[in-house]
Amino acid sequence: MTYDPIRLEIFKHLFSAIAEEMGTVLRKASYSPNIKERRDFSCALFDAQEQMIAQAAHIPVHLGSMPLSVRAAVEHFAGNFNPGDVVVLNDPFRGGTHLPDITMVSPVFLATHSRKKGSRQVIGFVASRAHHADVGGMTPGSMPVGREIFQEGLIIPPVKLVKAGTLDQDLLDLILSNVRTPLERRGDLSAQIAANQRGADRLMEMVTRYGLEEVTGAEQQLLAYTERMTRHLIESMPDGEYRFTDYLDDDGVNALPVPITAAVTIRGDSARVDFTGSAPQQAGSVNAVYAITLSAVSYVFRCLLDLDVPNNAGCLVPIEIIAPQGTVVNALSPAPVAGGNVETSQRIVDVLLGALAQACPGRVPAASQGTMNNVTIGGQVSISGKGGPGGSQPFAYYETIGGGMGARPDSDGPSAVHSHMTNTLNTPIEALEYAYPLRILRYEIRKGSGGEGKFCGGDGIIRDIQVLTGCQVTILSDRRKIPPYGLDGGKPGRIGENLLIRKGQEIPLPGKGNVELLPGDVLSIRTPGGGGYGVKST
């Protein structure tokens, strides 16, 4: 296929449009506010060799790790796929991230309607990943401060939820019997199936219109282009080793800080990222599996590329990643991992940016809030009976809360936003209060929480949530002890706070932990600000 930059640009947008449309279907068809309102999901397109070709502008921690889920599905079934198959999995040690993130993978066939043996050819895969608000486990929301993965919820290895177009009802019943909110889970799983079907249909339409040879040729050229641009980026940095260490506050079980170290070595047009020296895997749930570390590395290097460079598997070709097994950045089963996906991923990004700030000063911002401020609230909500006494049904609410972004070399950091490995929205007050027995009493910018400097870090958020019924709360947050760093003389951002307000009394809560709330109690989450950049003039 002759290289034609204009035609290749068209194909880049065609592939991305498929992933974006998948996301639109998933959002509109889903049941839970976590997916419909917060948009905690991601969709991507893969070639026949399981290389990611395109992704929508969804969640970085999902997208960088999703290729390992696709590979796990393909390896498990050894290519034994039929048209209409949909594989479901969430096992963090087989390509997943943490248990609430359920991935669906669908093969796309050239001859979808042919039954002649040997006539079918897999031309690619489509995949969707969504954070489900509950998948069982020891606490509502499936994000506990546990000590082993079995406490975190239902583990799903690669299995076919849909076989040749027919839903496996027994498997679906098994999944729904192990979650607190089966109706909501059924709706969200069905939405993922619909999203995958839309993606498969659109890819087949592309092949029908342009021909398989041109489509696969465009895929390979886009992969090669991203690889070339990544090599050009690395080559622009001075050769050398750049090392940085940052810390998680603790693991939720022990009070000691958890160090994460990265040494980024630049040699010509290739790089090595070595996490040797990082803490061993922890007793608490901050452990990250390899897929998360891979995702964070991909995200950081992608951030340094121009916006018009396609986001695909080519980005990682020039980069070698060393993540020793049994460490907090490459944990082994049965380590708990609920917080690794959401908290450790953020700290890995902070560490990599700290290292690369030495290699390319003036291009890297100060540390952002460095946490997703995860809150899960669950319990029983009363329902009115029809012609009889009222009963109750379980509910599970999950949210991440934004904060301050680090100041940039030429401007202040934005306030009250999600940053780095998360890209969700905050749940709108109206949607939250409609769906759950909760009330938002306060939702505002946390003034003065950004670090000072020539350019100031962005401010965090204050979100006060009143519970209207007794319930159980889990918080997984960080930067409550160790603040986000500033750069080039800028001051660190202000650490976050978690408070229980009961009858007017403020009771400090740990950064990670479980707490029982009574009706009328208020949970106040006050998120960190970003670090400042440069020395503030006097």
pLDDT of 294 higher than 50: yes
* Mean of pLDDT values over 339-354: 97
> Which range (77-81, 350-354, 373-377) has the least confidence?
77-81
> Which domain does 43 fall in, by range?
5-226
pLDDT of 63 higher than 90: no
Instruction: Say which residues have a Cβ less than 8 Å from residue 276's Cβ, sequence separation at least 6.
Output: 261, 263, 322, 324
* Mean of pLDDT values over 217-245: 97
Q: Residue 390: what pLDDT?
A: 60
For residue 384, name the pLDDT band (cuts at 50, 70, 90).
low
Query: Which position has the higher pLDDT, 121 or 366?
Result: 366
Q: Is residue 251 part of a domain?
A: no
Q: Is residue 290 part of a domain?
A: no
Domain C-terminal end among 226, 241, 276: 226
Q: For 367, left (φ over 0), alpha (ψ -120 to 50), or beta?
A: beta
pLDDT of 519 higher than 70: yes
Q: Residue 10 in contact with residue 21, Cβ under 8 Å?
A: no
Instruction: Say which residues have a Cβ less than 8 Å from residue 125's Cβ, sequence separation at least 6.
Output: 45, 46, 47, 48, 50, 70, 74, 105, 106, 107, 108
Q: Is residue 167 part of a domain?
A: yes
Q: How far is the first Cα of the chain from the last one, in angstroms, to the nearest whole number?
A: 60
Q: Residue 462 in contact with residue 526, Cβ under 8 Å?
A: yes
Instruction: Say which residues have a Cβ less than 8 Å from residue 150's Cβ, sequence separation at least 6.
Output: 334
For residue 228, name the pLDDT band (cuts at 50, 70, 90).
very high
Q: Residue 112: what pLDDT?
A: 47
Report the Cα 14 to chain-centroid distance in Å.
24
Q: Is residue 119 part of a domain?
A: yes
8-state DSSP, 362 = T
Q: Residue 114: what pLDDT?
A: 44
Q: Residue 456: what pLDDT?
A: 98
pLDDT of 119 higher than 80: no
Instruction: Say which residues have a Cβ less than 8 Å from residue 341's Cβ, sequence separation at least 6.
Output: 61, 92, 97, 98, 101, 288, 292
- Each residue's pLDDT tens digit, 463-483: 999 999 999 999 999 999 999
Percent pLDDT > 70 in the chain is: 97
Q: Is residue 507 part of a domain?
A: yes
Q: Quickly count: other Cβ atoms within 10 Å of residue 488's Cβ.
A: 18
* Mean of pLDDT values over 324-351: 97
Helix axes 212-235, 5-29, angle to 10 degrees: 100
Q: Residue 307: what pLDDT?
A: 83
pLDDT of 313 higher than 90: yes
C-alpha to C-alpha distance for 429 and 210, rounded to whole angstroms: 46
- Pair of tokens at residue 126: 């489509």
* Mean of pLDDT values over 236-253: 98
The overall average pLDDT reported for the chain is 94
pLDDT of 120 higher than 80: no
Query: C-alpha distances in angstroms, 379 versus 178, 438, 453, 472, 511?
Result: 16, 11, 44, 6, 21
- Hey, is 261 helix, strand or coil? strand
Q: Residue 116: what pLDDT?
A: 47
Q: Residue 111: what pLDDT?
A: 66
Q: Residue 401: what pLDDT?
A: 96
Q: Residue 152 in contact with residue 98, Cβ under 8 Å?
A: yes
C-alpha to C-alpha distance for 174 and 172, rounded to whole angstroms: 5
- Each residue's pLDDT tens digit, 128-152: 999 999 999 999 999 999 999 999 9
8-state DSSP, 53 = E
Cα Rg, the chain, nearest whole Å = 23
* Mean of pLDDT values over 7-33: 95
Q: How many domains does the chain have?
A: 2
pLDDT of 387 higher than 70: no
Q: Residue 389: what pLDDT?
A: 54
Q: Is residue 382 part of a domain?
A: yes
Q: Residue 118: what pLDDT?
A: 47
Q: Residue 57: what pLDDT?
A: 75
Q: Is residue 274 part of a domain?
A: no
